[in-house]
Amino acid sequence: MKYYRNNFHPVIFFLLMAMIALAACAPGQNIPPVLATGTATRAIQTKTNTPEMKATSTPTPEHRCPVLTGGAELKGYSNLVELDAAILDYVNHGGDPASLKSLLASTDLLRVSAAVADLDGDALEEIVVSGSITIINEGSPSDDINLINIYQCSTNAYRLVQSFQTEDVSSGDILFVEQIFEKELPFIIVKIRATIGWGTKYYAFGWRENQWKEIFLGGGLVGSEIMLDDQDGDGTKEVLVLTGNSTGFWGGASRDEIDVFAWNGKNFEYSYSDLPPGDDRVHYLGDGADASKKGNLMMAIAYYEIAARDSNLSSYFTTYELTENQTELAEPYQKAFAFFRIVVIWFSQNRVDMADEVIHEMSESFPDGTPGNEFVVVAKEFATQYEVTHKAMTSCLEAVKILDTDYPDVLKGHIGDWGFMNVSYSATSEFCKLN
């Protein structure tokens, strides 16, 4: 029987076993193991020691849009079908979608505008193109067609995914990209101009509730402007449209107004209007009348003072002044009337001192025999009557009778006939009313 000598020294064996024990007891890194699932990762809970995994880079997602080469050229087009083909050919052969905004040119019959934005939240930009064409028909009215096309890239190519047609329009202009609903995706805002009349409508196009949607925002006249702003802080923006409120002679002195449209849960509907400062004396006479009806007499005085003293304002003439070649009389009569309305307000507040100051200023501005002096005469009679009755309305109604008997042309020809969109008066007694 042979014996084999063990050359493994006891000391070396002891040290080796000690090192193995220490290694087994040493704490590992406090990092949970991960399991790759596509581009995402998730933690796997375990109670056993697991060999440390080496970090690997996250796989790059497949590039779903064509690579920009810079060598593509936009082909010509003369109708909406050719326009669609030219756009797809350009972007699918390496053309930069952002360049379409400057490359797409409009003609007399074909009007084009474009925008590029991520509308569906996939981090890839969609292309939105508005194309409007006028089709000339022999012996009959022309037809206008407007398309809003949305192009999306997938599998390395752009394709048309949605097309909206708007009817009875002469053009559709893409304005800007805007988020309307809080924590939702943005929309493309488009101005649509009507073929007949002076109307302009505004629409939003985008991805909502898992589909491409068209949302009507509001409307105005040609030349209007739009803004979106969350005025009530509810997370949904209101639509503000700055537009004229009348056109043509019979509408009177045209004036801008701000129409506000609010979201009701299903669509945008008209809410209210505000009037920015006007540029005609008639505007301020109307603002003064509105303020007095609302009970804000100090605001009414402020408007009437502008109408009475600002010589830079235009003065919209009445039909009588136009037909009788007296348009130069519009300014003095409107100024004098504004002063008189201030007198009415001060007497209504028993401020005889302030009323007397205004009457004195009127007397200097409109001497005897000049246009507008008629209101000076009435204001002085007002003061005389008030000294006796101490009742503003009674005194005013008695004073304005002078206009009916001695100066009938004032109401007939110079005050109140300023078009249906502006303040109007049909009787001298209305000069005394405040609310």
pLDDT tens-digit readout, 107-131:
888 999 999 999 999 999 999 999 9
Of 226, 244, 274, the residue at which a domain comes to its end is 274
Provide the pLDDT for residue 410.
96
In this structure, the number of other CB atoms found within 10 A of the CB of residue 59 comes to 9
Task: State the angle between helix axes of 352-365 and 330-348 in degrees (0 to 180), rounded to the nearest 10.
Answer: 170
In this structure, the number of other CB atoms found within 10 A of the CB of residue 250 comes to 10
Q: Which of 310 and 136 is assigned the larger pLDDT?
A: 310
Q: Which two tokens stand for residue 145?
A: 């067609």
pLDDT digits (tens, 9 = 90+) for 300-350: 999 999 999 999 999 999 999 999 999 999 999 999 999 999 999 999 999
- Mean pLDDT confidence for 421-425: 89
- The count of C-alpha atoms lying within 13 angstroms of the C-alpha of 167, restricted to the half-sphere facing its C-beta, is 0
CA distance 375 to 402: 10
Q: Say whether both 286 and 380 belong to one domain.
A: yes
Residue 27 in this model has a pLDDT that exceeds 60: no
Strands of the sheet with 238-244, listed across from one edge? 225-229, 238-244, 256-263, 268-274
- Residue 160 belongs to some domain of the structure: yes
Provide the pLDDT for residue 22.
43
Provide the pLDDT for residue 323.
94
- Residue 266 belongs to some domain of the structure: yes
Provide the pLDDT for residue 15.
46
Say what the alpha-carbon torsion angle 347, 351, 352, 357 is, to the nearest 10 degrees.
Answer: -100
DSSP state of 17: H
- Mean pLDDT confidence for 239-268: 83
The percentage of the chain sitting over the pLDDT mark of 90, rounded to a whole number, equals: 67
Domain carrying residue 392:
281-432
Q: Say whether both 183 and 331 belong to one domain.
A: no
- Residue 5 belongs to some domain of the structure: no
Of 230, 253, 274, the residue at which a domain comes to its end is 274
- Is the entire prediction scored with pTM above 0.75? no
Q: Which two tokens stand for residue 312?
A: 């830079």
Provide the pLDDT for residue 140.
75
Residue 381 in this model has a pLDDT that exceeds 90: yes
pLDDT-based confidence at 254, cuts 50/70/90?
Answer: confident
Identify the H or E element spanning 214: strand 211-221
Which amino acid belongs to residue 213?
A: K
Task: State the angle between helix axes of 297-309 and 281-293 in degrees (0 to 180), rounded to the nearest 10.
Answer: 170
In this structure, the number of other CB atoms found within 10 A of the CB of residue 338 comes to 24
Beta-bridge partners for 127? 116, 151
Q: Say whether both 265 and 295 belong to one domain.
A: no
Q: Say whether both 250 and 315 belong to one domain.
A: no
Q: Say whether both 408 and 343 belong to one domain.
A: yes
Beta-bridge partners for 262? 269
- 8 Å CB contact between 393 and 434: no
Of 228, 251, 274, the residue at which a domain comes to its end is 274
- Residue 370 belongs to some domain of the structure: yes
Q: Which residues contact 232 (CB under 8 A, 6 or more apart)?
A: 238, 262
Q: Say whether both 419 and 296 belong to one domain.
A: yes
Q: Say whether both 170 and 147 belong to one domain.
A: yes
CA distance 216 to 202: 6
- Residue 72 belongs to some domain of the structure: no
CA distance 88 to 86: 6
